[in-house]
Structure 1
């Protein structure tokens, strides 16, 4: 039985066949959606809120800032889109719950009895106006009631043909959405990194402080870590450093460039770690957090500036990170991280029987055309037009 891996973000993807699976991915930028200061007063938001559960509406309504409410609403909508399309069930029949802990467990799709539906897993992340979803669809057959409501699985095919235990995770980081500048200015990068000693191992933190992947100059040129030499040990801002390029040119480099490169590297580690712990719905307080280590970490180079139409672009993808847990390599997980525009990075994690599976590129989806119109069609509701 064919298996499917799916990564979703806000735009519907074309599905690409893999060796033993199918993947797709969506992302959505929410910064221009539902303008205003209160989500219920924003044009079109009330109609969108009407497409999700009352519990989700209440949770979104408690958000202090509308930008957080926007991302939470987009997240709720994209999860329903994914489940409805993947299980081929009407929008109204989608039921969301959490695995394990009712408040903090990983979101999942459940049947009418409240049992998690086998063979489907997904994870959503949102940060700085961007929402992404990655999902796994094992194509397990399901039983339906006379009303067409999904009730549970019919049977599980042979293990060699199907794996219900594949888990997926995703995370987004924004390298410029932070409040770290004053601490770094006053105490240096070294002290700032050590405030995360409850998250990262000693070896990881050492690498964040004293390793550099590359440095981008003001004119866009790239300095390699070899060209930097021992300047990679710099942890203070506002220092003038003498560097010789591979072409033999002597230049003066402001150490702020090195600090920015190291911060991008720090957020690469953070993005990897978040995506991994979200595989099973764990939190940053997981007792084994510091025992989860990443090696061969490289921060992806950012994308070029937005195009003339304002659309953001994808940058470099890095997919050769090594994952270790309790000093042992984790062999059944695959991770990658991709730059989005100049400031964001998106990581994905897949764990289980995943030999031959490759995460596809994320695709952008249109909120109105791909989500709202889809929901209105299922619910037989005429969409409201806003100017």
Structure 2
């Protein structure tokens, strides 16, 4: 990069000079306004007590700039300055290098391409496929790195050592700042004066440039906006602390704002005379703003400015699948493809009961190429018998977006179909698709809502689309065409009373020519009220069971926890908590990309202030608390009532019992903020759940010490009491009572447990099998999940049958009622 000492001073005149140098390479983007958004901004908040001034909002449409963002301004200015300083031949000989999540990458690649300069672009592996493709359109030298600034800079240094390329930083250089500041110059040329300007801040190049332009305009106040997710609000926090925050590690959807503020830019934006204040926004607020701008101004903007359309959980899928989804041009098609892919992974995840990151979906051989799940080595179905290898699963997911018309968007036949005659005509058009029985089922479907002709027609159209989707799923699974001769005789067994936003139906059986098709299971499920999905599976992993009613599949409540997981791991030893976080990230992420959101917190849960801090940290990081797992426990002092040390006794009760009360004291109010549903909607039927860790010692006693069984017995009855107290609030409370499992507490203390002791412990159980922490964890997961939504106040014993009876490994002579 050109020596900063040779750069023009950071003042408005330098921005005007920069604009003269680069304007020929840029689009002059429009400044637009919206009466609707201005009216919304000028409306009083329901909780506001002060009058709200009238706002006129203007939007500088840098999403219409080359590469879809403002970044070419800084990149072209920096490149032109290099050519002025070193000469074009020297810059071409050496080339340029930078690191970026996508926008500066594309911008510098474009600028270098314009002047015939080689460009080496370092991009995080998690960059969106569209931005990677955009960068590769201008340069073949794209090198991948980790996501943090430190990881990117390490790769850049290696590229520089190998090639001699000149670094053009993404934001932290005066030439970049002056180039970005030309945005504000053009804004003033559009309209003479603004009362306030708000700009996003990541590295600070744009906000620094805007603040520089308005530095001699006291009538215009400048503000910064940044995401709050995972500490991305480093600018505001840094100003509050009086120092620049040097590292940020966040996966906010505003991927252009995942970097810390640069050193040069910090000198500008940290000065209150330049930037008056910073405001942080949540991920949901960013999504809402994107949607509002799209709906009202018909502009598709990046999260950093308010990836084209938000694609939730895209990064949890394999890279090649992400790229395939991103190839669709229309946002609706991208969302549709993503939803279909997520549903494939969700069904395998739930059918096979394996972690999301371990799901591998391939294709059967051509010409059919059906989705196929191959079980990992050693995997066994719960219903599998013998030693034969587990069978794979052929399946497909299909959809009918005609349902969009059924939920009020005005598309599809429902917007014009109001009579039975119109419906009969519609059904007759597709007579080759349906048997007489299916056609009768469609024509006779009862209304699911209020009585009336319109409701009846809607219900019958839903039945039509449900049957259509099921047939399409089945034929895709078997690899036939829509006009297969047998298609008319394909029928389905189950009562398909599906309605948008309420139920999905599983355990649907296919009937062909009057005979049940064995080994095939179908299901219907809705995705966000917009699409009706059908799945067809051959080689069913697990029977679905008798319960045929599901809540509508909700991305946030159902799929996101499977794909991501959001966990706060608490321990007195921060290293142990961090080790657990590493295990979580390794298990849920794997090769499918980042998904887990876990953090480590050092705290002593026997200290009330620490308990409050843990809950506050969870709320700040994730915005909510859904599950509290009280796991902490110690063995406590040895001895009986005669010789126990009472000071150690008090400490043991404090750790084993009081800590759980104090964590619940602060977690329950946080859970009360969560919405609760009625069992039919998208929300869950409870606000939160607590799982306390007790022990079989708490229900049977019989240990050498008095403290441990006493404290664990207290946890059992505390659990029951808490369940009674908080059931009315929609909070479930249960506990797990493990037997003698082999955990780090056993093999880590005092040099570990002897082989003889382990064998004796194992033989006390009916199953004669040693348990471990994963066995207990599976029980906790069950009690914390929706599968246990009708369970509260229960103590789940996990002990291989130890407390259920006496082991059968007793000679007949020692058993009651047996002949000697």
Q: Under a length normalisation based on structure 2, what TM-score does the superposition of the two structures give?
A: 0.26
Q: Which has the higher contact order (CA 8 A, sep 6+)?
A: 1
Q: Name the one with the larger helix percent.
A: 2
Tell me which structure has the larger Cα radius of gyration: 2
